[in-house]
Amino acid sequence: MSNERVLCVAAHPDDEVLGCGGTLARHAAGDDEVNIIFCADGETSRGMKALPNRNFMAHAASKILGAQVPTYLDYADQRLDQASLLELTQRIEDRARIIRPTVVYTHHLGDLNRDHQLVAQATLTAFRPLPHSSVRAIYAFEVVSSTEWGTGFWPNHYVDVDGFLNTKLRALGCYESELREVPHARSYASVIDTMRLRGYQAGIFAAEAFMTMRCIR
């Protein structure tokens, strides 16, 4: 992975770390440019008004991963289905015109979380295969406590993140208030076990797993 312009389009701050934090860190360590777009704030559905704090967490996590300063679209949490899908797609496209990504990571269409579904749909629409598109690959990631509760995530692309496991966990620590105690799926133990399981499936010690949505070679 070298000389790539990477874009992660995530529904909420913490999805980027849970879904592909190790992979983003690996990209950054290989001198790839890593960019992140957050579509929704991740808090307002719970009656919270701590948006600046959540964005501060995201900013801190991005620095640990080696990513650029994130872009915040600031839609309300769990309200993306009340927004225009066209508008969301166009806002992603607007940012993409500046970044011109070559590799895109986003959510799985079958996630239980509705925001995740809509972000995946908008991202795939924004990066539909048009002539002269910069995008060479699109991958769907898994988010513990969402993807496994949905349907149809069958990974066929694995990234070795054994050397970046601690980086991912440090970045995840920026969102410690979002984590739960075992045996909840969104716990440190679950995140580690998932990376170990995905690694063993690929014959390595730790991996993040993805579904390939499009790949051009």
Whole-structure pTM value: 0.95
Residue 7, pLDDT > 80, answer yes
Q: What is the pLDDT of residue 87?
A: 97
Question: In the predicted model, is pLDDT for residue 45 greater than 60?
Answer: no
Q: Check: CB of residue 140 under 8 Å from CB of residue 120.
A: yes
65's enclosing H/E stretch is helix 51-65
User: Amino acid identity, residue 72?
Assistant: Y
Write the CB contacts of 84 (distance below 8 Å, at least 6 apart in sequence).
none
Residue 198 in tokens:
């995905």
CATH class held by domain 5-215 = alpha beta
- Check residue 161 and give its pLDDT: 98
pLDDT over threshold 90, residue 43: no
Domain boundaries, the chain: 5-215
